[in-house]
Amino acid sequence: MVDFTLTDEQKSLRELAHDFAEREIRPVAWELDRTAGWPQAILDKAHAIGLMNTHMPEEYGGSGLSYLDGCIISEELAWGCSGVQTSLGANSLASVPVILAGSEEVKREFAEELVAEPKIASFCLTEPGAGSDVSGMRTRAVRKGDKYVINGSKCFITNGSYADWFIVYAKTDPEAGHRGISAFLVRKDDTIVVDKKEDKMGQRASNTATITFAETEVDARYLLGEENKGFKLAMRVLDHTRPGISAVATGISRAAFEFASTYAKERVQFGVPIAMHQAIQFLIADMATKVHLSRLATWNSAVLLDQGRRNTLESSHAKRFAADSAMEVATDAVQVYGGYGFIKDYPVEKLMRDAKIMQLYEGTSQIQRLVIARETLLPRRIEEPATATA
Ligand SMILES: Cc1cc2nc3c(=O)[nH]c(=O)nc-3n(C[C@H](O)[C@H](O)[C@H](O)COP(=O)(O)OP(=O)(O)OC[C@H]3O[C@@H](n4cnc5c(N)ncnc54)[C@H](O)[C@@H]3O)c2cc1C
């Protein structure tokens, strides 16, 4: 049976997240965008009421919410401000590899710390020469006794300036391409330097930094999964996190749609509200459809994960469609506002800038199409569990 009716608990979660977005995020969102400020006070409050680290398993003190629950929360927070949501939500991206591949001892140490305090963890995959093609990474991890020594630089790292923990992907077999990558959980220390904070087009309330590891020593027990299996782990992680990113894109689309609908009913030209002009109605109708379908694709990809099923194709469908839709809906919202849409005193130009990143990070829209084409042209015959390698 196909049924997306939310349970009473899910409705309460949505209400909690929406109220938080309305009270704590919306009132400061445009100011944080202007100043590119770090929303620590919001993170503290969100952590206190359980809106951070939502997937942390119950056995480590977390709330153990489902992926669908996480998507419901993320859409509401991103409706408030997707930059703030990214600051709040990036711990999930960093936590998934630990939950999927960490030893029991490492999982417990990491998870209990994040649950106890609003600490930050960053996911460090991208490098200047290795974006979509992560096999080109140059960061090295060399085993010395019971330790690995890591050297290299990672760029565009979300929350990097504030991270207490880093998930670091590094080459352990430099000749083996993507089969020579391993993943490590690394605690912040003096050998880890934040080189640069990026000045971004959008999502300016999120922090993005370059992180350099110089002779960083990490105990071998912090290797996540097997040596040289880090690429497969990263692909599995992205299957788990793309539904959440799609939910963020849906939140941006919904905010843009709501602003545009309200404005269209208020703005009078040629003697009638512009919402009476069919050209504007059709823009609004297309926005509504894109919000609706983005949410359905997002929830579908999350529910498959919750059922323990492989969701590679569905999470790419959702990420591609929701991200491209967010860009289209936010651009059309600016169109509905006319010249005012281009002015910073009005809300929608921020949404248009924020939306752009959705088509870029966690796999660009082109990379999603590559995945969709591969999964469609060469479908896997056997239904694999979500924990199977990608
Ligand atoms: C604000 C922000 C936050 C980020 N956060 C993180 C983070 O926390 N951790 C992290 O590890 N990374 C992060 N990233 C990095 C992000 O995931 C990469 O920017 C993204 O994967 C694209 O890599 P690239 O920028 O090097 O672009 P490139 O890979 O150089 O791509 C350039 C263009 O070529 C296209 N392209 C590339 N290869 C192909 C192909 N085979 N077929 C068709 N088109 C192709 C791309 O779609 C794109 O349009 C972040 C980036 C930004 C901007």
Of 353, 361, 369, best ligand 1 pocket probe by most atoms within 8 Å of the beta carbon? 361
pLDDT at 132 over 70: yes
Cβ of 364 below 6 Å from ligand 1:
yes
Active site (annotated) includes residue 362: yes
Tell me, in angstroms, the distance from the centre of ligand 1 to residue 132's CA: 5
What are residue 153's phi and psi, to 5 degrees?
-125, 140
Tell me, in angstroms, the distance from the centre of ligand 1 to residue 271's CA: 47
Two tokens, residue 106: 């490492």
Of 158, 364, 365, best ligand 1 pocket probe by most atoms within 8 Å of the beta carbon? 364
Region 4-14: mean pLDDT is 96
Q: Give CA angle at 165 (120, 73), nearest 5°.
A: 35
Predicted pLDDT at 3: 83
Cβ of 125 below 6 Å from ligand 1:
yes
Across 80-98, b (16+ Cβ under 10 Å) vs e yields: bbbbbbbbbbbbbbbbbbb
Cβ of 124 below 6 Å from ligand 1:
yes
Predicted pLDDT at 379: 83
Atom nearest to 154 CA in ligand 1: 11
Judge residue 379's burial from the number of C-beta atoms within 10 Å of its C-beta, 0-12 exposed, 13-18 middle, 19 or more buried. Answer: exposed
Predicted pLDDT at 317: 98
pLDDT band at 2 (very low <50, low <70, confident <90, very high): confident
* Antiparallel, parallel or unpaired: β 268-269 and 147-158: unpaired
Region 160-167: mean pLDDT is 98
The pTM (predicted TM-score) of the whole model is: 0.96
Q: Cα-Cα-Cα-Cα dihedral of 307, 295, 31, 260, to 10°?
A: -170
| pLDDT tens-digit map of 142-160 | 999 999 999 999 999 999 9
pLDDT band at 388 (very low <50, low <70, confident <90, very high): very low
Give the H/E segment covering residue 41.
helix 40-48
In DSSP terms, 217 is beta-bridged to 149
pLDDT at 383 over 90: no
Cβ of 360 below 6 Å from ligand 1:
yes
pLDDT at 9 over 70: yes
pLDDT at 25 over 90: yes
Predicted pLDDT at 381: 56
pLDDT band at 272 (very low <50, low <70, confident <90, very high): very high
Predicted pLDDT at 380: 75
Two tokens, residue 40: 């620590």
Average pLDDT, the chain: 96
- 46 contacts 88 by C-beta, under 8 angstroms: yes
Region 111-117: mean pLDDT is 97
Packing angle of the helix pair 67-80, 8-20 (nearest 10 deg): 30
pLDDT at 125 over 80: yes
Region 297-326: mean pLDDT is 97
Region 41-56: mean pLDDT is 97
Above pLDDT 70, what percent of the chain? 97
Residue with tokens 């490590």: 184
Region 361-377: mean pLDDT is 97
pLDDT at 13 over 90: yes
Q: Give CA angle at 194 (55, 365), nearest 5°.
A: 55
Predicted pLDDT at 35: 98
Predicted pLDDT at 382: 52
- 125 contacts 261 by C-beta, under 8 angstroms: no
Tell me, in angstroms, the distance from the centre of ligand 1 to residue 134's CA: 10
Two tokens, residue 77: 């927070």
Cβ of 368 below 6 Å from ligand 1:
no
Tell me, in angstroms, the distance from the centre of ligand 1 to residue 360's CA: 6
pLDDT at 390 over 80: no
Predicted pLDDT at 4: 87
Cβ of 36 below 6 Å from ligand 1:
no
